[in-house]
Amino acid sequence: MAGSFGAVEDKLREASFFLEKLGEAEPYTLEVNHYFSAFVSAARSVTFAIQVSMKGVDQFAPWYESARERLKSDPIAQLFVDLRNNVIHRGDTPINRVEIADFEECISLQMNGDLNYHFLRIPAEIMDDNNGYVDIAVLSEKYFKPLAQLVFDCYEKFKFTVAPRWYFTEENFRRRGLDIADAFEEKGLPRTMADRMPQGGDPWKWLRLDQPYCSINDIFDRYLNVVICEPE
């Protein structure tokens, strides 16, 4: 069982936290720069954490390569590669920044109430936006969702490895050629303990009692409308 997948969960929650802060920030306040910098840093760490956590897991490498190719084909994900490099390596946060050539247009949009958010100027075709100004919180959420989907898909694909409650299931041990006695032994308990269960009791459920639930199901539910189901 991958013992460090908690780092993936922590980084996804950290990115989610700063994404929420971006959405809550008042227009034209300096704090949004700090939230955005923290968001792109945490979001970038999600994929790093997945690779470290899943290193050596059977079939992970080809699965991740396919997932990475999907991210690379996403124009918003590619835009964030450049934004992330600028923020992390150069300390450059291009939020609410207006080029001289765009100054008159920007002022007009602000006066009309069409630009009352923290904005970023990007190629209009990336988000089908007519003027190219996008809400940085909206843009960041569009980047975050595929990352959350990547983590969810990893959970689903490798749930016997990364999800503690799925690890201690009859299906997982049986596919490895093991049984309930081996499961008890793995937890440091007598192999015969399964025979001591009350009549009608499920020893597999008993083994899972102290195993944690998926700690980021609330994030999956909020941004993807899905959750990791329980073995029961």
Q: What one-letter code names the amino acid at 215?
A: S
CB atoms within 10 A of CB 198: 8
Could you list the pLDDT tens digit for every one of the 232 residues in the chain? 444 699 999 999 999 999 999 888 876 777 888 888 899 889 989 999 999 999 999 999 999 999 988 888 888 888 888 777 777 766 666 665 655 555 455 655 555 655 555 667 676 666 665 557 778 888 889 999 999 999 999 999 999 999 999 999 999 999 999 999 999 999 999 988 878 877 767 899 989 989 999 999 999 999 999 999 998 7
Domain ranges of the chain: 6-162, 163-213
Single-letter code of the amino acid located at 129: D
Tokens describing residue 210: 């102290």
Give yes or no for a contact between 121 and 97, defined as CB atoms under 8 angstroms apart.
yes
Counting other chains too, the contacts that 128-131 makes at CB distance below 8 Å and 24 or more residues apart are 131/105
